[in-house]
Structure 1
């Protein structure tokens, strides 16, 4: 025989469900990424305050981007293998990507941009001297340019690295439907600054 709950018990259960829904609904858009597991020593060394500071920076970047998800304590992954790596609190440069697999050269210094044997990586940095957030790519984009705004990075590139075999062509919008070439990145090259800093809005990655 099934015994129904008394009215007061049903009311209490219903109120509990409503309270849970209210709490979940109050979470910010990036809250699903908070507290992600990351046992790297550089992350474990952060105190509670700096971890919270880092998470706020990640959440702000997620809010400014399209389609990204937090994949490590200081990393955001997008479709197509695109990754943004954020500096740790108190540091000027972003650390090495958590999934980097090694390098092709023991002598080349690519400023944290992955130098795997394959694929071929190229990176954009928010600050001069390869500082600040690092946005890294590895694919060809010959048919359609990549818009920096999709990654919350429009008008923010201040230095760059191109470790591989593609040529990178960076444009800025000049108004009136006209795009202007800002700079070109030859294969296996890097620059600590750009002549037209904080104006890059899109790029192409083409076969050299």
Structure 2
């Protein structure tokens, strides 16, 4: 989700003030912890750090920006540990054994981790240029994964595909059963995009991988 409407909000407030509507109190923005608590209350998950939630034993991680920041920080130590375990689990499914001593530090693009040994991660971002919340996976998903399960429906504006999978991202057609709609972009292996484009912005509803 891009943020081009701030000036419009300022103009709207100024117009209201000019009309004598200065007694309307605006709600205070949620704190970081309130955002995390609200997400867990609605979508489950486990808080693993001051700014991260994990689902499905680390297969899915959401990171929030720290107060005053526009982008989520790189993975915390707690997230790196669950990422390591998730990568080992995925590698074991493919008959690969990963030695912890051989596992190099994760490199990142936009804070999205990747592994030279093991399974690579792919991430979606709420704003362009890898801004705001980051939602990341590392396993293959041959059936639909719905962003609504994580409070991220119609939110993605940029992405990083750190691994060798191909990822197909879809919109939902209004009035049709869930999982019905057009493909709006394809993520080739080891690629990334700082912005999905105006036509696709805030439209992603689900994805599948190779």
TM-score between both structures, scaled by the size of structure 2: 0.67
Pick the structure with more strand per residue. Answer: 1
Q: Output aligned runs, 1:36-185, within 5 Å.
A: 53-65=31-43, 67-79=44-56, 81-98=59-76, 99-100=79-80, 102-103=105-106, 110-117=109-116, 118-142=118-142, 144-177=143-176, 178-185=180-187
Q: Which runs of 5+ in 2 are unaligned?
A: 1-29, 81-103
TM-score (norm 1): 0.67
Q: CA deviation at 1:203?
A: 0.2
Structure of larger gyration radius:
1
SS in structure 1 opposite 2:34? helix
Unpaired segments ≥5 residues, structure 1: 1-51
Provide the residue aligned with 2:196 in structure 1: 194
Aligned-CA RMSD value: 1.7
Cα distance in 1 for partners of 2:168, 2:40 equals 26
How far apart are the structure 1 equivalents of 2:166 and 2:31? 36
Supply the distance in 1 between the matched residues of 2:174 and 2:36 (Cα, whole angstroms). 32
- Highest relative contact order (Cα 8 Å, sep 6+), 1 or 2? 2
Number of aligned positions between the proteins: 149
